[in-house]
Amino acid sequence: MTDVTEVLRALSDGRFHSGEDLAALFGCSRSAVWKHVRRLREHVAIDAVTGRGYRLAEPLELLDREVILDCLDERHRACLGDCHVMDIVSSTNELAMQASGQAPRKPRIWFAESQTGGRGRRGRSWHSPYGRNLYFSLLYRFDAPMHQLAGLSIAAGVELATLLSTLGLQGHGLKWPNDLLWQGRKLAGILVEVSGESEGSAHAVIGIGLNIDLGEIPAWLDQPVSCLKEAGLDVSRNRVAGQLAAGMLDMCARFAEQGLQPFVDRWGGYDLYRGKRVRLSAPGLQHDGIVAGLSPDGGVVLTIDGKRRVFHGGELSLRTGERHG
């Protein structure tokens, strides 16, 4: 039986394909083709023109496992347990967390074309249009207890910001603890979840949502967002996916060997809020101060009434545009 994904891949070039040609290609009836198209329209815009057939309103570069793996060098491929390229899932982090129960020794990676239950920090929904952005999770085993993995989202943010710089992006930076912004709008988010025992090894799931092409922005989004396309970067989803996978594998290996400090040192080059007046909000508390960088363990340092204090939870928001030395 033809899968709707096969029909979508046939249409992904953005050209017209007649129902007759698609039926012949997949060995099914034209009625079956129409049913697949109708299902696909729940996720992507498809034009239908009498006498010409069907086409995507915009071409899509669908994810291709082999192309992604080709972006990894021999060292990455040797250490990788598996790379899963999924169609529509609830959440790549959810799949990775389920797999962590098997205690795999080698890293595993998940990509998806779309997520129905993608989430960011503090339970926020993540806008996941089909076939446009990257929804990625890496499951990695550390020979260290859970408490030693604090700050892993800091390391992931630095690695992601560095990758985007190599792609030619400018004007981006990091907002503590795990947001990447471009010109003040959210370009990517990171969600790290850790499982294990208080002593012994632990598994970390590093989830990243990277906006490549947002398309039409839904009205329910409650924060300014951006994407690489808006920033003027015309990139291949598969190439960026492969580079992202390689970068995160390298980051985890470096974190396991050297800890957080090298990433704290690099954070300053991307810190968008250093020297700015902010409000740190968390359930039951609120602090106004000036950002003075990161502590060695990845907490945010605020200068409040002339005294430096370190916080490890909460959310930053700018209070004014005033900058201080």
35 belongs to the catalytic site = no
**Separation of alpha carbons 164 and 210, rounded Å:** 10
Out of 30, 65, 121, 124, pick the active-site residue.
Answer: 121
Nearest CA to 208 out of 266, 170, 251 is that of 251
Q: Are strands 108-115 and 82-89 parallel, antiparallel or unpaired?
A: parallel
Q: Are 154 and 267 in contact (CB under 8 A)?
A: yes
Assigned token pair, 255 = 């974190």
- Mapped to the 3 state alphabet, what secondary structure does the chain carry? CCCHHHHHHHHCCCCCECHHHHHHHHCCCHHHHHHHHHHHCCCCCEEEECCCEEEECCCCCCCCHHHHHHCCCHHHHHHCCEEEEEEEECCHHHHHHHHHCCCCCCCEEEEEEEECCCECHHHCECCCCCCCCEEEEEEEEECCCHHHHCCHHHHHHHHHHHHHHHCCCCCEEEECCCEEEECCEEEEEEEEEEEECCCCCEEEEEEEEECCCCCCCCCCCCCCECCCCCCCCCCCHHHHHHHHHHHHHHHHHHHHHHCCHHHHHHHCCCECCCCEEEEEEECCEEEEEEEEEECCCCCEEEEECCEEEEECCCEEEEEEEEECC
Out of 9, 41, 308, 319, pick the active-site residue.
Answer: 319
Q: Are 310 and 300 in contact (CB under 8 A)?
A: yes
Out of 186, 266, 274, 277, pick the active-site residue.
Answer: 186
186 belongs to the catalytic site = yes
274 belongs to the catalytic site = no
Q: Which residues are catalytic?
A: 121, 186, 319
